[in-house]
Each structure stands twice: as structure tokens, then as C-alpha cells.
């Protein structure tokens, strides 16, 4: 399912992740190390720079997806990586701030295959650490004075507010045939798309590109977010924990309504009806979770989720095509989009 | 202890709180009501606008100290309340964001005499609600385009980062004769002073006042924060829960090292030595807390805390005098400072 946008010659080598590693990562490391020492330790652990004992760690760090996207778009609009370095570092800090807090809110014990920060350092420090990353990320965009800085800072602050709204909306999502798919979509636009729109749009703002270019990039980010979230939903139920770094079926264990489940619940079929009944049961054994997963699959939830994710990935690539980026950057971003959604990286 | 800065004719009537009520409060209400509905409910409860059932509530709302200070300084530098309305609303939102999260981190069950938001709505929603207030407050200063907006937004983002650093530093403060008073002071400058410096400084930035005026106002805020924190420390041990809205002796129950305790622990006296031993005991009965409180008092911790708080309040008023504000505003602020520290309001 991951090959439809790759070139026939095989997977393209990506440039932006290594540029991020040499340009953005040092900024993140330096800024986070300058935090109050205890917060620095929690944040450096969460970011995968150190292990639980404070020793350097090479594994577990995130892929810095958003920074890679921003760097690739910067290249596509004629900027250097340095021109969006602060913004790329900031978006990673903000994204990680939301993950730190989301793990507490969802009682998720694993993140990227390691104990979540709150399991290692306690809830209190993890709350303050997430806040520190959030304040630091916003401060970096607020203190930047390059072209378009006001618009960029405003787009970051707005996106961050949307992520929090989406996280809350997710907690309150209930089965409701009339509304839950619409609420789910709203939640995804907030929780998953907002920071991606921001990441893709920031270089256009910096380069002073016209409104139609900005709109095309933001549209691409919006569809990419939906494709990514639905793909994550599928991975939660049928994915490989060695790839996701999280225990399998956390969403259905917590009875979080994700796209495959909502789609299956709305299916007018015996499997859908049976799922509706079993979904209510207060049973979190592996057998029950397996039965729910099988019913979601049988009622078509897996298939329609995969189709919808692919559809939004295609839309993201289409919108990207309207942005008039350099062909090299457009190819890089197309491959990045595919790897982000399909975890082929 | 609360009369030394009041005029001999009796307590002065304060104007700024009622100006805040008519100018800033509507902005806060409107902005918070526009949040995602569940977050709006949690935030409106935390801010005292509604009760647990969602019904309008008149009690329990904060005094909007920081907005009052900002409004009074604005008047003193020739601005109208409207000129700093967004900033005044923002500083209240940011302050309340830190309170929402601090109550979770400290497991404080009461806030302003009512159950803390996390007790009513759960930890997950309270985390997201605090984040939403933080993002909203920063967005309001980032989106403002009046004079000095870059400097003001930057000072807010910096202050917020300092508050988080102070909250973490507080959690890690341990008895250590050589360092703990210095660490305590650093923690107070971050946790209590940072947003007050910001509140007093913002109108000067907006009015384009020279550096010396800004510095005088920020210095006043710094000392006000220290005076306020030490006064809160004293209130925790010997105050009236009906006034503080919190259970008594939460700090010593949690063995948080506050100024009276640190001062008593460093006293070379039999009471100080006895306190050192009893402080280690894992005993949180009311009798044991009373014994600790008595020893802190006997070792001079209460007296030196009250003296130091008063000293910093006097320093705050002195620095205020260097800012060259209009006499009416200076008098208003002097009274405000006193009421803030001594809770006479």
C-alpha cells in the first residue's frame, strides 16, 4: 500500500531529514539544554537524546517529520534551511509538547518504544516539561524577526490552540450515528492537520509567496494530516508495535472512536450491529480486543479507512502540485508525504 | 501588618479592579467561550464564571490582580485601558493556565474555596484546558498589532517559560544549607515575579517609554512577586483557609520548602535542630503539622518571613516611585501592591 506515489525506479533518497539533522537538531538540543536542569532532563529524555539514567541515547528520537517538511518546502520556494531553522525547531518542540501531555491524558505508558516521560519522571514534572516545550517553541517564533514573522508566529499560536481543542474533542467523542463522523473529522483537522498546515505554510510566508501558493501548501498539509491520522488509526488496530513503538489496540482498549471503528459502527451490517453491542462491554482482555478488531474489519472499517487515507494522501499531493515548487522539492515532498503516512521511512 | 503603606486617611478606594471588570473581563469571557465547548466549560469553571453544573456563578472568580496592575500602569503612562486590554486579558489567561496545571502537579484539591478543575473534570481535560488557556493567551499577544507588540509578545513568552521553570524548580527543592535559599529565590523570581514584571512593563512598552521607566516598573514587579510569594508562604502555615480558599498547611504537608521553613531550618537554634529532625518524618497528621508550624515559628521563620515580605513590598513601592507615573496612578498602584501582598482586598 506504500508504493503508489514512489517513482518506478524505487524509493527516492530523501535529503530533508539529513538537512534537519545538521541544521535544526543542534538548535533544538541547545535550546532544550538551556532549560531549567530538571525540565531539560525530562525534555531531552522525551526527545530521545538521553536514556532514563541521563546517558546519551541514539535510539527512540522522533523522525522530525514537521521540520523535514518545512525544510523541503523552504528549498522549494528558494530559501535556505537556515531561513526557517527557528520555525522548524519550534514546530518540533510544539509537537513534542503536545505528545508529552497527550501521553499523560491518555495514560499511554509507551512512546517510541520507551516508557513515556510521565512514567519515568512522574506526572508533575511531565506536565511542567510539556509546558516548557510549548512556551519555548512559541518564544522562538515570537522572537524571530525575519520576513513574515508576525504571520508565522500567529499561525503557530493558532495551530497550537487547535491541537488542544482537538485533543479535548477526542476525549469527548461518543458514538452517535448522526454526528460522530463529522466530529471525528473536525477533531483530526485540529489535532493532526493544524501543525502540518503550519509547517508547510511557514516557508511560503517567509518567502513572501502569493496567497494561492500559501493556500495550496496549507491545503496539502490539511489532507496530509487526515491521511496520517487515519493511517495511525489503522496501525493502532492492525499495526506492528515494533514499528509504532506503542502497545497495540490502545485506542479500542480505551474505546476511543477512531475512523475504522466509526466507519464499521455506521455500517448497516450484522458485523456492524454485533460491534455496536460488544463495544459497550467493559472488557479489555486481548481476546475481546481481537474480537472487536475482527468485527471492525468484517464490517469494512479497515478497508474504508485505508481507502480514505490513500484518497487524502493523493489530495495532499495534488494540492502540493498547485504550489509551484521546484521539481526537486516537489519530488522530495511527495516521497516524504508517502513515508509519513505509510511509515516506510 | 497591612497598614504601613496605606494613607493615614484609611484605605484608598481602588479604581483599576472595576475598570478591569468592565474592560478586560468581557474580553476574557468572550475568548474563553469561543474555545472548543468542553474546554470552554472547564476554563469557565476554573475562572469562576460557572459552577460544576454549568450554572452561572458569582463567587470564586479571581481578583484579576495582574490585569488590575497593568490597567493602573497604563493610566500612569497616559494610556487608556483599551490600549492594553488584550495584554491584560492575556496575562490573566496565562496566569490561570499555570494555576490549572499547578493544581494537578501539586495534587491541590481546592482552588479559591472550590474543588480544583481536575477534581471536577478529571486530569486529562484539566491538562488540555490549561494548554488551551496558555495558547489562547499567547495568541492574543501575538495577534495584537499595536505599538511595541513584538517586545510585549516576547516578554510574555519569556515570562511564561520562567514560570514553568520555577514550578519545576519548586518540585525539586531539597533541604541543603548551602544552596536552598538561593534556589528558593531563583524559583520565586521565576514562578511569582516573571508575570508581574511583564504586567507592569507591558504598558511602558506600549507607550514607548524610555528604558529607565521600563526597568523601574519591572524592578517593582520583581520585588512585588517576592513579597507576594513569601506572604503566601506565611498564609499557608498560619493563614485563614476562609481567606486563602485552600486547606491550611498544604506546603508543610507536602514538605515543600518555603521561605519560613528554610529560614527556620537554617537557624542555629534548638528549635531549628528539632525542626530538621521532625521535617524528615513521614507524618502528615494535623498534630504533626501543628508541631512543625510551631517549631518554624519558634525558630524565627515566621518573623523573618514577614519582615522580608515587608522589605520587598517597600522595595517594590520605591522602584515604582522611579517610574515617573502620574501621582494618581502611583497612589493606586501603591494601594494595589499592599492589598495584593496582604490580601486586604
Instruction: Give the separation between CA B247 and CA B253, rounded to whole angstroms.
Output: 10
Instruction: Report the share of chain A in percent with pLDDT over 90.
Output: 79
| B166 interaction partners in chain A (CB closer than 8 Å) | 36
Q: Which tens digit of pLDDT belongs to each residue from A64-101?
A: 999 999 999 999 999 999 999 999 999 999 999 999 99
Alpha helix stretches (DSSP H) within A2-64: 16-23, 25-33, 37-46
CB A127 within 8 A of CB A101: yes
Nearest chain A residue to B39 by CA distance is A168
The C-alpha of A173 sits at a distance from chain B's nearest C-alpha, in angstroms, of 11
Check B136 against A165: CB less than 8 A apart: no
In terms of pLDDT, which residue wins out, B338 or B112? B338
Check A161 against B132: CB less than 8 A apart: yes
Q: Which tens digit of pLDDT belongs to each residue from A172-198?
A: 887 776 778 889 999 999 999 999 999
Residue B113 confidence (pLDDT) above 90: no
The C-alpha of B105 sits at a distance from chain A's nearest C-alpha, in angstroms, of 4
pLDDT category of residue A268 using cuts at 50, 70 and 90? confident
Q: Which residues pair with A114 in a beta bridge?
A: A111
> What pLDDT is attached to residue B177?
66
CB A32 within 8 A of CB A134: no
Check B39 against A134: CB less than 8 A apart: no
Kindly report which listed range (A119-128, B224-233, B272-281) carries the lowest average pLDDT score.
B272-281
| B35 interaction partners in chain A (CB closer than 8 Å) | 161, 165
Residues 6+ apart with CB under 8 A from B139: A154, A157, A158, A160, A161
Instruction: Report the share of chain A in percent with pLDDT over 70.
Output: 94
CA angle (B144 as vertex; B69, A145 as ends), nearest 5:
110
Residue A134 confidence (pLDDT) above 80: yes
Q: Is B116 in CB contact (< 8 Å) with chain A?
A: no
Residue B327 confidence (pLDDT) above 60: yes
pLDDT category of residue A122 using cuts at 50, 70 and 90? very high
Residue B268 confidence (pLDDT) above 90: no
| A132 interaction partners in chain B (CB closer than 8 Å) | 161, 164-165, 168
CB B102 within 8 A of CB B167: yes
> What pLDDT is attached to residue A332?
96
Mean pLDDT, range A269-284, rounded to an integer = 91
Residue A118 confidence (pLDDT) above 80: yes
The C-alpha of A15 sits at a distance from chain B's nearest C-alpha, in angstroms, of 33
Place of cell 496501525: A235
Place of cell 523601574: B216
> What pLDDT is attached to residue B138?
96
Kindly report which listed range (A26-30, A56-60, A138-142, A271-275) carries the lowest average pLDDT score.
A56-60
> What pLDDT is attached to residue A11?
56
> What pLDDT is attached to residue B61?
56
Cell of A65: 517529520
CB B64 within 8 A of CB B24: yes
CB atoms within 10 A of CB B172: 13
Chain mean position to CA A58: 21
> What pLDDT is attached to residue B305?
97
Check A139 against B154: CB less than 8 A apart: yes
Check B164 against A38: CB less than 8 A apart: no
Cell of A258: 477512531
Point out the residue among B135, B154, B160 whose CB comes nearest to the CB of A161: B135
> What pLDDT is attached to residue B11?
56
Check B157 against A145: CB less than 8 A apart: no
Place of cell 481535560: B125
Mean pLDDT, range A212-217, rounded to an integer = 98
Size of interface A-B (CB pairs under 8 A): 139
The C-alpha of B2 sits at a distance from chain A's nearest C-alpha, in angstroms, of 34
- The phi, psi pair for A52, rounded to 5°, reads -60, -25
> What pLDDT is attached to residue B59?
59
Residue B123 confidence (pLDDT) above 90: yes
Nearest chain B residue to A183 by CA distance is B36
pLDDT category of residue A59 using cuts at 50, 70 and 90? low
Residues 6+ apart with CB under 8 A from B271: B264, B295, B298, B299
Q: Is B161 in CB contact (< 8 Å) with chain A?
A: yes
Name the 3-class secondary structure at A56. Answer: strand
Residue B337 confidence (pLDDT) above 60: yes
pLDDT category of residue B4 using cuts at 50, 70 and 90? very low
The C-alpha of A59 sits at a distance from chain B's nearest C-alpha, in angstroms, of 26
CB atoms within 10 A of CB B251: 21
Q: Is A33 in CB contact (< 8 Å) with chain B?
A: no
> What pLDDT is attached to residue A337?
97
Instruction: Give the separation between CA A321 and CA A219, rounded to whole angstroms.
Output: 11
The C-alpha of B31 sits at a distance from chain A's nearest C-alpha, in angstroms, of 12
> What pLDDT is attached to residue A1?
39
Instruction: Give the separation between CA B145 and CA B256, rounded to whole angstroms.
Output: 42
Q: Which tens digit of pLDDT belongs to each residue from B77-90?
A: 999 999 999 999 99
Check A160 against B135: CB less than 8 A apart: yes
> What pLDDT is attached to residue B12?
64
Q: Which tens digit of pLDDT belongs to each residue from B22-63?
A: 999 999 999 999 999 999 999 999 999 999 999 998 755 568
Residues 6+ apart with CB under 8 A from B239: B248
Check B128 against A38: CB less than 8 A apart: no
Kindly report which listed range (A50-64, A136-150, B130-144) carries the lowest average pLDDT score.
A50-64
> What pLDDT is attached to residue A36?
96
Residue B7 confidence (pLDDT) above 70: no
Q: B152-161: string of b/e by CB count within 10 Å (b at 16+)?
A: bbbbbbbbbb
Interface of A with B in 122-141 (CB under 8 A): 123-125, 127-132, 134-136, 138-139
Point out the residue among A128, A153, A161 whose CB comes nearest to the CB of B164: A128
Nearest chain B residue to A105 by CA distance is B124
Residue B6 confidence (pLDDT) above 70: no
Q: Which of B165, B195, B205, B256 to mutate to test the interface with A (most CBs of A within 10 A)?
A: B165
Mean pLDDT, range B15-23, rounded to an integer = 91
CB B216 within 8 A of CB B323: yes
Q: Is B105 in CB contact (< 8 Å) with chain A?
A: yes
| B101 interaction partners in chain A (CB closer than 8 Å) | 127-128, 131
Chain mean position to CA B112: 13
- Helix or strand holding residue B209 (H, E): none
> What pLDDT is attached to residue B179?
75
Mean pLDDT, range B252-266, rounded to an integer = 91
Instruction: Kindly state the greatest CA–CA separation across chain A.
Output: 60
Point out the residue among A128, A150, A168 whose CB comes nearest to the CB of B128: A168
> What pLDDT is attached to residue A345?
35
| A38 interaction partners in chain B (CB closer than 8 Å) | 168-169, 171-172
Q: Is A34 in CB contact (< 8 Å) with chain B?
A: no
Instruction: Give the separation between CA B39 and CA B42, rounded to whole angstroms.
Output: 5
Place of cell 538537512: A19
Instruction: Give the separation between CA A265 and CA A271, rounded to whole angstroms.
Output: 9
The DSSP symbol for B114 reads: E
Instruction: Give the separation between CA A70 and CA B228, rounded to whole angstroms.
Output: 44
| A117 interaction partners in chain B (CB closer than 8 Å) | none
Residue B225 confidence (pLDDT) above 90: yes
What is the average pLDDT score of chain A?
Answer: 92
Check A161 against B39: CB less than 8 A apart: no
pLDDT category of residue B203 using cuts at 50, 70 and 90? very high
The DSSP symbol for A281 reads: S
Instruction: Report the share of chain B in percent with pLDDT over 90.
Output: 79
Residue A158 confidence (pLDDT) above 60: yes
Point out the residue among B39, B161, B168 whose CB comes nearest to the CB of A164: B39
CB A309 within 8 A of CB A340: no
- By CB atoms closer than 10 A (0-12, 13-18, 19+), residue A135 is buried
Q: How many helices (H) and strands (E) does chain A have?
A: 18, 2
Mean pLDDT, range B97-123, rounded to an integer = 93
Mean pLDDT, range A49-62, rounded to an integer = 81
Cell of B104: 494537578
> What pLDDT is attached to residue B3?
38
Check A168 against B39: CB less than 8 A apart: yes
> What pLDDT is attached to residue B5?
45
The DSSP symbol for B193 reads: I
Amino acid at each position: 500500500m506504500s508504493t503508489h506515489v514512489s517513482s518506478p525506479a524505487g524509493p527516492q533518497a530523501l535529503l530533508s531529514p539529513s538537512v534537519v539533522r545538521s541544521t535544526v537538531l543542534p538548535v533544538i538540543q541547545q535550546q532544550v539544554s538551556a532549560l531549567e536542569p530538571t525540565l531539560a532532563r525530562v525534555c531531552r529524555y522525551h526527545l530521545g537524546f538521553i536514556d532514563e539514567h541521563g546517558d546519551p541515547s541514539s535510539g527512540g528520537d522522533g523522525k522530525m517529520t514537521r521540520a523535514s517538511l518545512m525544510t523541503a518546502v523552504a528549498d522549494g520556494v528558494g530559501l535556505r534551511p537556515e531561513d526557517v531553522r527557528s520555525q522548524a525547531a519550534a514546530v518540533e518542540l510544539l509537537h513534542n509538547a503536545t505528545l508529552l501531555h497527550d501521553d499523560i491524558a491518555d495514560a499511554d505508558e509507551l512512546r517510541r518504544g520507551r516508557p513515556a516521560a510521565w512514567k519515568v519522571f512522574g506526572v508533575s514534572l511531565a506536565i511542567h516539561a510539556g509546558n516548557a516545550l510549548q512556551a519555548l517553541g512559541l518564544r522562538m517564533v515570537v522572537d524571530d524577526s525575519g520576513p513574515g514573522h508576525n504571520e508565522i508566529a500567529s499561525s503557530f499560536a493558532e495551530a497550537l490552540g487547535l491541537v488542544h481543542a482537538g485533543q479535548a474533542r477526542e476525549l469527548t467523542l461518543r458514538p452517535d450515528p448522526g454526528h460522530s463522523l463529522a466530529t471525528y473529522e473536525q477533531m483530526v483537522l485540529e489535532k493532526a492537520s493544524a501543525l502540518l498546515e503550519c509547517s508547510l505554510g511557514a516557508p511560503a510566508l517567509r518567502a513572501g509567496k502569493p496567497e494561492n501558493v500559501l493556500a495550496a501548501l496549507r491545503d496539502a498539509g490539511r489532507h496530509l494530516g487526515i491521511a496520517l491520522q487515519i493511517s495511525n488509526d489503522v496501525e493502532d488496530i492492525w499495526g506492528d508495535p515494533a514499528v509504532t513503538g506503542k502497545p497495540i489496540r490502545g485506542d479500542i482498549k480505551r474505546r476511543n472512536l477512531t475512523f475504522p471503528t466509526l466507519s464499521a459502527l455506521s455500517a448497516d451490517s450484522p458485523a456492524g450491529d454485533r460491534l455496536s453491542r460488544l463495544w459497550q462491554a467493559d472488557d479489555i482482555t486481548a481476546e475481546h480486543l481481537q474480537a472487536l478488531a475482527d468485527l471492525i474489519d468484517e464490517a469494512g472499517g479497515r478497508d474504508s479507512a485505508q481507502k480514505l487515507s490513500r484518497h487524502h494522501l493523493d489530495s495532499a499531493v495534488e494540492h502540493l502540485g498547485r504550489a509551484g515548487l521546484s521539481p526537486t522539492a516537489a519530488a522530495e515532498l511527495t516521497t516524504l508525504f508517502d513515508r509519513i503516512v505509510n511509515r516506510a521511512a
